Amino acid sequence: MTALLTVDNLKVSFPTRTGLVEAVRGVSFKLGKERLGIVGESGSGKSQTGRAIMGLTPSQALISADRLAFGDTDLLKISARERRHLRGKQIAMILQDPKYSLNPVMSIGRQIVETLRTHEAISKREARLRALDMLAAVQINEPQRVFDLFPHEVSGGMGQRAMIAMMLVCGPELLIADEPTSALDVTVQLEVLDILDKLVSERGMGLIFISHDLRLVSSFCDRVIVMYAGRVVEELAASDLSNAKHPYTQGLLNCLPKIAGDRHPLPILERQAEWSL
């Protein structure tokens, strides 16, 4: 059986005035209809990995892979037009900051309707109904009212949910969620994750969940990839986190606060130069 997504030796680098910045340095993994978490500290290349799959790598970047495929489709070979067709319809990505993903001068409802009508030949009326249904599915209480609001008129949590609605309305097979809840406070964060969890299992999607929060990822995903300096340093089942072998993962686990038990002195993550080789 072909995997939903195959990433083999993916590399992304940026030519800069001071030399080449290697953001992703040979990442490989396969994904089925499952929930995969990618964790790693800031700058470890998580977002660039997601963006490469989505086809949103900045134009100045150099990208290569032995294979980057969605099902049988070679993502590095298809045209920009085919890419656009795939994006939104079959692969969707919730970007790290919803503020930049929603169009500020278009009402939330219209944005969802436009997404639908770009990919499906349906009437305005039907698109409106589907958009309202989707807003209700992400637990927006008054979909009719929110439909006509502009992004600046809703709260951060609502904006994030509207984004999720927009990304899921076409029923993608793969969803990449890049820190979908980092900008939210903890209670709203859990609500949004709950919604995401429900939608992913109800609709049988593959999910890549990117976060720097190891605990969150392991509670939410089936499998976790740990990235450090553009590489995968460890891959484990989420339930098996306590058996992590790589010292970086162990370090991250040690840094998690424990409610019971003495935490003095606080552990420090001692980075070894050889981790980034």
Ligand X SMILES: Nc1ncnc2c1ncn2[C@@H]1O[C@H](COP(=O)(O)OP(=O)(O)OP(=O)(O)O)[C@@H](O)[C@H]1O
Residues that bind Mg ion (CB under 5 A): 47
Q: How far is the CB of 122 from Mg ion (least distance, A)?
A: 34
The DSSP letter of residue 100 is G
Q: How far is the CB of 3 from Mg ion (least distance, A)?
A: 24
Please identify, using beta-carbon distances, which residue of 55 and 109 lies nearer to ligand X.
55
- Contact partner at residue 14 from Mg ion, ligand X, none, CB < 5 to 8 Å by partner kind: ligand X
Q: Which of 16, 18, 123, 187 binds ligand X (CB under 6 A)?
A: 16
User: Is 40 a binder of ligand X (CB under 6 A)?
Assistant: yes
- Contact partner at residue 98 from Mg ion, ligand X, none, CB < 5 to 8 Å by partner kind: none
What is the rounded distance in angstroms from the CA atom of residue 142 to the CA atom of residue 130? 15
- SS3 of residue 238 by DSSP: helix
What is the rounded distance in angstroms from the CA atom of residue 255 to the CA atom of residue 95? 27
User: Is 42 a binder of ligand X (CB under 6 A)?
Assistant: yes
What is the rounded distance in angstroms from the CA atom of residue 140 to the CA atom of residue 195? 11
192-197: long-range contacts at Cβ-Cβ below 8 A with a sequence spacing of 24 or more? 192/157, 192/160, 192/161, 192/164, 193/220, 195/137, 195/138, 195/139, 195/161, 195/164, 196/164
Q: Which of 11, 25, 46, 223 binds ligand X (CB under 6 A)?
A: 46
User: Is 59 a binder of ligand X (CB under 6 A)?
Assistant: no
User: Is 275 a binder of ligand X (CB under 6 A)?
Assistant: no
Q: How far is the CB of 211 from ligand X (least distance, A)?
A: 8
